[in-house]
Amino acid sequence: MTEDARALTGRRIVVGVSGSIAAYKALILVRELTSAGAVVDVAMTPAATAFVTPLSFAALTHRPVVTDVLGLDPDSQIAHVELAEAADAIVVAPATANLLAELAAGLVDDAVSAIVCASRARVVIAPAMDAGMWTHPATQRNVETLRGFGYLVLEPEVGSLASGLTGIGRLAEPATIVAAVERLFARSGDLEGLRVVITAGGTREPIDPVRFIGNRSSGKMGVAMAEAARDRGAAVTLIGGTMSVTPPRGVTLTEATTAAAMRESVIRAAPAHDILIMAAAVADFAPARPSGRKIKRDASGLDLRLVPNPDIIAEVGEMPADIRPFLVGFAAESDDLEANATGKLRDKGLDLIVANQVGGPFDAIGSDDNTVTVFGVEGALTDWPMLPKRQIAERLWDLIADRYRRDDPAPTRGRKAATRAPRR
């Protein structure tokens, strides 16, 4: 058995089947996933049940098939939520043009779209339809949207179609789909054994009990880094400041809304982690003397004196080598990106710095997309286009893991895994 094939053993996989003539091939797919050791549950749209019976899938999986989400069957209502949470991956095969449109729009009116929408598992989609439908701009736009969500959309194959015509639109072969799922997990385990701590979001520096100085950071980049690391097998601690996104499940979350609280959490966590990703926008200044009482309106105005906050990552950079984690900083620069970012890399003692331009026509803060350049001591290491933050996170982890392991004597484990206390 290859490394990739072993990747499916014990994995919970939901196969979502929609109403295409290719639905019969989903039976072969389910059988192959089950043979590879996966625990497979099947969900079907109402139209899919017109092509293949739920009984056929139940016979292969020895598990109930979810076909209803609208409330006729109370068991199914719970089943789709449970499956969404339990799934390690969801494979939608075949996916009709209609289902692609539903998923892209966030419409949820059948068991398959409900499970995909409710889940945070990795999603693989194998479309099957008539060539005209596949090449229609609406379908292509929906596919782009779904790829933007981080879903893996496989290309349909060229061949004879149910319409009698020959063209693109055939469902990818079950073996191709299984291989794609295996690769997902083979890669998704590559951070196994690593303990990573990630900061995300902004901070709020109190002026008085109700007012603060804050920033617009959404936490999206740090959360994308946390989700990607979690999905690739790392033990993740997320130190969250003020965020506009929901923290991911499956990570250890510590809240730290001021720079001082964030410093305390990071300094405490750093020695027990292999890698620190400092994606938070930590306030550089805080009011010198926050008032314990609400400051009254005053016609003469208010003078606020700000004092510098401690530079957290620089402090970690000075830790002794045996406890200092691998350090990745982020830098938002409005001018002289390269000089400023590499200056920070040197001054703060970082291993890598992820720099992005702010203040121009594109604003990365709060956006779902970003364009970044990563610098190491030797200079720029990347030339990436504008990408969704989750895709940037995946590329960053490829780079960070590679760098981290270059001088690690035990390449598949984190240095701290064996010696430190287990995850809290």
User: One symbol per residue from 78 to 117: x for binding ligand C5P (CB under 6 A), - otherwise; what is it?
Assistant: ----------------------------------------
Beta strands at 235-240 and 252-255: parallel, antiparallel or unpaired: parallel
**Interface with ligand C5P in residues 337-356 (CB under 6 A):** 344
How far is the CA of 158 from the CAs of 138, 165, 172, 173, 324, in angstroms?
Answer: 20, 11, 9, 11, 53
Residue 57 binding ligand C5P, by CB under 6 A: no
Q: Give the amino acid at 187.
A: R
Pairwise CA distance, residues 357 & 364, whole Å? 8
Residue 155 binding ligand C5P, by CB under 6 A: no
Residue 331 binding ligand C5P, by CB under 6 A: yes
3-state secondary structure 228-273: HHHHCCCEEEEEECECCCCCCCCCEEEECCCHHHHHHHHHHHHHHC
Q: 44, 313, 374, 396: which one contacts ligand C5P (CB under 6 A)? A: 313
Catalytic residue among 98, 142, 215, 309: 215
Residue 329 binding ligand C5P, by CB under 6 A: yes
Residue 207 binding ligand C5P, by CB under 6 A: no
- Is 370 among the residues known to form the active site? no
**Interface with ligand C5P in residues 270-299 (CB under 6 A):** 278, 280, 282, 284
Element (H, E) at 355: strand 352-357
Residue 22 binding ligand C5P, by CB under 6 A: no
Q: Shortest distance, CB of residue 405 to ligand C5P, whole angstroms?
A: 22
Pairwise CA distance, residues 313 & 269, whole Å? 12
Q: Give the amino acid at 102.
A: E
Collapsing DSSP to helix, strand or coil, 285 comes out as: strand
Pairwise CA distance, residues 115 & 83, whole Å? 7
Number of residues that bind ligand C5P (CB under 6 A): 13
**Which of residues 103 and 332 has its CB atom nearest to ligand C5P in the complex?**
332
Q: 259, 270, 275, 352: which one contacts ligand C5P (CB under 6 A)? A: 259
Residues that bind ligand C5P (CB under 6 A): 259, 278, 280, 282, 284, 309, 311-313, 329-331, 344
As annotated, the active-site residues are 215
